[in-house]
Chain A
Amino acid sequence: MHAEGHVKKLLIYLRDYRKESFLGPLFKLLEASFELIVPLVVAAIIDKGIAFSDRGYIVRMSLVLVLLGLVGLACSVTAQYFAARASTGFVSRVRHELFSHIQFFRYETLDEIGISTLITRMTSDMNQVQTGLNLALRLLLRSPFVVFGAMIMAFTIDTRAALHFAAVIPLLSAVVFGIMLVNIPLYKKVQGLLDRVLGSTRENLTGVRVLRAFGREPDEIASFMERNNALTDMQKHVGRISALMNPVTYVIINLAILMLIRTGALRVEAGILTQGAVVALYNYMSQILVELIKLANLIINITKSISCGNRIQSVLEIPAPDGAESGAANADAGVPSPHDADTAVQDGTAKAADSPDGMEAPCLVSFEHAGIRYPGAGEESLSDVTLHIRRGETVGVIGGTGSGKSTLVNLIPRFYDVTEGRVLVEGKDVRSMDVSELRKKIGIVPQKAQLFSGTIRDNLRWGREDASDEEILEAAECAQALDVIKAKGGLDGRIEQAGRNLSGGQKQRLTIARALVRRPEILILDDSSSALDFATDAALRSALRSLPFRPTVFIVSQRTSSIRHADQIIVLDDGRCVGCGTHDELLAGCGVYREIFDSQFRKEDRGA
């Protein structure tokens, strides 16, 4: 629980629910107070009602008991309501914060944490926090209150007898919390072992073809059983310890009751206590045990929630410097900022339309000794790249797997930041520019074609919110995507989650269209025609050349045929720029380029 500080920071999101977080526990305590009066009433029934045979008194006191129950019910329902309001409101707020925060993560951070982790944080961790907070608001104060309340009530009855309570409560607490403290880390181990069993199963299924092809089934079974046995042994070990809880507390509390009755007997004999008071003391003692066990279970639950809360908080604490307004977005969530996405996109297009051939800067994009080393990587993925690209040029980027092609183009929209040198757009260091302003100039078609559930129109309008159907269709025509749209039933055709109902080539063409809808100043095609056949690829390239808004185009490819007509071709090898020039210049002067070209030229040309 050393990381409690984390969760405390998370709790500031409770501030809108200050009233609820206060009233919930308060009403719960009221309910508990009424519960504590019950033994006194019973004692009164015995000492006054029975002792003096006063039937009317007994009936009245019984009604008091029912009344106490009724008031308790009302308090409790009120408490539950406030607790539910506070916990759901709080978690909803945290979900918003986290989701917003993640939106502004940099690519490095996303790569490092992994999307599946973020999804877990957003879903199951949130649910656990909600449950934990709800329980905490309802019960965390109640149980200690009843325990100490019972002790105080006992003191009001008889100090000597109440001393037993003072002795028993620490003892019981030591046992209950001791067992719990021993068990919590063990439960974590159980969870870890269960994850290993889960991993075995998953991997066995995802790799079923390979595993069967290699005949590894017996080894798989052996390793699964080993992990499964380890899990079972740990579960039994933990079980043996938790099984101690009930018997040990039972013995302690009953021994305390025996002592209490012994003392009680002596005190009654001495005329200090009444019989009813002894029964009341006995009842209070019984209440303590129930509450302590409840408290222990509660704490286990809350501990789980705390660790989930810590995980959430640690994601929230990862700086998201991407976009200066990420902090602002968190602070005034929901309030539309002047930089709202829609207006921003409009601004961008207006600018693009105003200056289609603007020549204000000699170089639209420049790299000056740019280099990047990914966090945790040993070597630089890109080092010392210097390039100057003029407006309207078509730039080809070619190189082997892992040569840094994608890295190079990802530096332009500032998906990653350089660790050496700098990257300039329109003469300004991209790190000094407003990220959203910068990205508005750029249309990017990523390697992995990602589409989202919704209509085709919705998806293509990602490029520009107010694009008309004509503009969308124009972009689609250039991207060779008209037949995809037709096949899916027009712009209203449905795209399923993550574009599952489209083939790779169809998705690629739609993502190209999406980037074109934006009419970007800079268009980046990151190996995004790999799933297109040669004919479509060629048609796409010639359509791009005749675009009316004349974007500067970066084409990343492994095929020389895709880039041979570029104004400038950049050849990368192992993160270094080993050649830069036109096709003919490179053929004459760049060994790596010639090698690539030969490897493909042989095939393609012989085929043609």
Chain B
Amino acid sequence: MKKTAEKRTAEMKKTVKADPGTLRRVLAYIRPYRFFVIASIVLSGISVALTLYVPILLGRAIDHIVMPGKVDFDVIFPLLLRIGIIVAATALVQWVAGIINNRITFEVVRDVRNEAFRHLQKLPLRFLDMRPVGDITSAVIADVDQFADGLLMGFTQLFTGAATIAGTLIFMLRIRPAAAAVVVVLTPLSFVVARYIATHTYRYFREQSAARAAQTAYIDEMLGGLKAVKAFGREKRSIGEFDAMNEELRKCSLSAIFFSSLTNPCTRFVNNVVYASVALAGALLCIATAGSAAPFTVGSLSALLSYANQYTKPFNEISGVVTELQNALACASRVFSLLDEPAEIPEDTDAEDPRAVRGAVTLKDVYFSYVPERPLIEDLDLSVRPGQRIAIVGPTGCGKTTLINLLMRFYDVDRGSICVEGIDIRHMRRHALRDCYGMVLQDTWLASGTILENLKMGNPDATYEEAVAAAKQAHAHSFIRRLPQGYDTVIGEDGGSLSQGQKQLLCIARIMLCHPPMLILDEATSSIDTRTEIRIQQAFDTLMEGRTTFIVAHRLSTIREADVILVMRDGHVIEQGDHETLLAKGGFYASLYNSQFAV
């Protein structure tokens, strides 16, 4: 995940431009909060205006403190009181604006996340199978988070920054256009400097990302395989390789950090030059206009100097905000592209629920492929009577799970149809169809939560006693009982510390609790030892009685007892029939059988 994140930041820097459509969509999410947005803008404006007004009043106060005998307390004290009131008002306005900004940001982000998650539930597996989990998670979590940061910064700093620049300019021009001109002319310099440094340090950042990505990949692999490293006594060797990468990364980081950290001192220097120029111009003006009708006073100079400081700051901030906002939009566009993925075909409004499912399944002229260029299942016909056992056999990677994908309607057939009890499964509600099957996959998956919660996943209304009974049937009871908190033991994501065999037992128990009319089993016993397996097999036999079962089988006994064997190779069903027929045929099944099971 880390690696993709690194890669992505690198890409992002290249294509920071987000298309205007993204902005429009972001605005659409903000729309429900438009009154808050308006309030935020108005309050920011007020707060900036008041903030800028204070130095002028202070300058005026200073003008009345000239020298002994020339201090006008009658003017100063009321002025100070006025400033105090304005300051209090400003603070209040700032605070309210801050709260409003927070609220807009976090609620918009919440809405985006909720919608993204809702959409995920409807995305076809065709899409989800192709995307690494980490990518999607990072879109929903990290990208949305980044988006939130950008949005908040945008609200808090973009408005105020822009308003400050505009306001300062107006106030400065009102004080003395000539002095203001100095500021206006010189400030863009800091912009130019910052830009120059940014473009020239980009290369170092890219090198740093590359070095970091390489090291992360190495860490990932070496720590992931650490037990093997240790078994072969390769510790020192891998430390040596690591150190070489580490040194490379150190050099790259040094350049990246050093050169990028030049921005601040350099822009600060430009600001200092501006400050000095204002001091020079202002002071000379003071002398030139002394005694004239509109003198440029020391108070005005002091106000102007404080403006010169304030005027340059938002420029630096805004350039930061703009990158942050572009970044935020780029992140948003990744979330949006997830939302744009077409959802599963909606269910028919007049969808029928199959009633009294006895387990009749028909596949008629089924065609299917994951990618159009590589046809997989072609013209498959299969008619399953209630209670029959269908074994799917073939070498690894021959597409046995594809059939499961089609039966469960995780994928839709390209042509032809699959019917359960005579109803086309595309004409059923998905839930109704999936309720017909109990499924145990090779990849055991358990939710984080207690054992009991996991057992009850398919049947939340089941009682504790029923769950225990199911666990006993699946031979899971004895190990569950030995866990620290028994059935209430919390297991981590994906089973945590349970062994593969234990996880499979739980998955089986989970199905035992559901009593589905049909079963789909994907070599559920692969990592369970043969003794346990025999017991499970017995439990399964009871479970399978009278139930249509599709089973991806590797074990001979399962295969032999099947009513129909589907022999698959390279995605195609090449033979179909029962054990004796297929053996007699002397085809692929016969040769597979001989190579696998003859000792």
Contacts and interface: CB of A to CB of B under 8 A. Distances in A.
Given A69-B269, A251-B87, 11 more contacts: A201-B117, A206-B494, A247-B91, A264-B65, A266-B71, A401-B499, A439-B230, A450-B227, A535-B599, A595-B531, A596-B531
Contacts of A538: 599
Q: Is the interface of B mostly helix, strand, loop or mixed?
A: helix
**Residue among B61, B233, B280, B499 with most chain A CB within 10 A:** B233
Interface in A431-474: 436, 439-440, 442, 444, 446, 450-453, 462-463
A154 to B, nearest CB: 16
Contacts of B460: 219
A22 interface: no
A104 interface: yes
A215 B435 contact: yes
Contacts of A498: 221, 224-225
B113 interface: yes
Contacts of B250: 88-89, 91-92
A312 B484 CA distance: 30
Interface in B393-450: 396-397, 408, 410, 430-431, 434-435, 437, 439, 441, 445-448
B141 A269 contact: no
Contacts of B397: 503
Given A69-B273, A99-B239, A58 B280 contact: yes
7 contacts: A50-B287, A80-B262, A134-B261, A205-B137, A212-B408, A340-B236, A497-B221
B249 interface: yes
B21 interface: no
A436 B233 contact: yes
B231 interface: yes
A212 B225 contact: no
A103 B493 contact: no
B106 A232 contact: yes
Given A45-B279, A596-B530, A261 B128 contact: no
B148 to A, nearest CB: 8
B106 A415 contact: no
Nearest to A61: B279
B235 interface: yes
B409 to A, nearest CB: 9
Given A268-B68, A269-B69, A401-B501, A221 B121 contact: yes
A38 B279 CA distance: 11
A148 interface: no
A208 B128 contact: yes
A164 interface: no
B493 A279 contact: no
Given A341-B233, A379-B482, A215 B434 contact: yes
B54 interface: yes
Interface string B110-121: 100110011011
Contacts of A415: 227, 230-231
A236 B231 contact: no
A130 B253 contact: yes
B557 interface: yes
**Residue among A89, A337, A607 with most chain B CB within 10 A:** A607
B95 A453 contact: no
Interface stretch (A481-489, A544-552, A597-605): A597-605
B198 interface: no
B234 A462 contact: yes
Contact of A103 (B68, B239, B268, B286): B239
- Chain B contact patch, size range: 35 or more
A170 interface: no
Contacts of A345: 233
B27 interface: no
Interface in B82-96: 83-84, 87-88, 90-92, 94-95
Contact of B258 (A84, A207, A235, A243): A84
B235 A80 contact: no
A213 B92 contact: no
Given A123-B216, A216-B457, A209 B441 contact: yes
Interface stretch (B301-309, B365-373, B543-551, B567-575): B301-309
B362 interface: no
A254 B54 contact: yes
B596 A248 contact: no
Contacts of B306: 283, 286
B107 interface: yes
Contacts of B71: 265-266, 268-269
Contacts of B253: 84, 88, 91-92, 130
Nearest to B228: A450
A10 B408 CA distance: 55
B33 to A, nearest CB: 13
Contact of B106 (A99, A206, A235, A596): A235
A363 interface: no
B249 A122 contact: no
A132 interface: no
B31 interface: no
A182 interface: no
A50 B141 contact: no
B16 interface: no
Contacts of A399: 529
A203 B493 contact: yes
Interface in B205-225: 212, 216-217, 219-225
B196 interface: no
Contacts of A102: 223, 226
A198 B141 contact: yes
Nearest to B595: A535
A434 B217 CA distance: 31
B512 to A, nearest CB: 14
Given A243-B98, A279-B62, A322 B227 contact: no
**Residue among A203, A498, A600 with most chain B CB within 10 A:** A203
Contacts of B232: 439, 462-463, 514, 518
B484 A378 contact: yes
Interface in A68-123: 68-70, 72-73, 76-77, 80-81, 83-85, 87-89, 91-92, 95-96, 99-100, 102-105, 107, 110, 115, 118-119, 122-123
A257 interface: yes
Contacts of A231: 110
Given A99-B242, A119-B223, A561 B265 contact: no
**Residue among A202, A213, A345, A415 with most chain B CB within 10 A:** A213
B192 interface: no
A72 B221 contact: no
Interface in B322-343: none
B283 A58 contact: yes
B494 to A, nearest CB: 6
Contacts of B494: 203, 206-207
Interface string A263-306: 01110111100111011001100100000000000000000000
Contacts of B77: 262
B225 A413 contact: no
Contact of B136 (A205, A215, A342, A400): A205
For the complex of A and B, list the 7 residue pairs with the smallest distance between their C-beta atoms, beginning with the closest: A243-B98, A69-B272, A239-B102, A65-B276, A401-B501, A247-B91, A62-B280
Interface string B282-294: 0110110010000
A261 B80 contact: yes
Contacts of B90: 247, 250
Contact of A341 (B235, B275, B529, B593): B235
Contact of A210 (B51, B103, B435, B441): B441
A505 interface: yes
A607 B598 contact: yes
A231 B148 CA distance: 13
A278 B301 CA distance: 13
A543 interface: no
Contacts of A452: 221-222, 225, 228
A439 B397 CA distance: 36
A50 B289 CA distance: 11
B34 interface: no
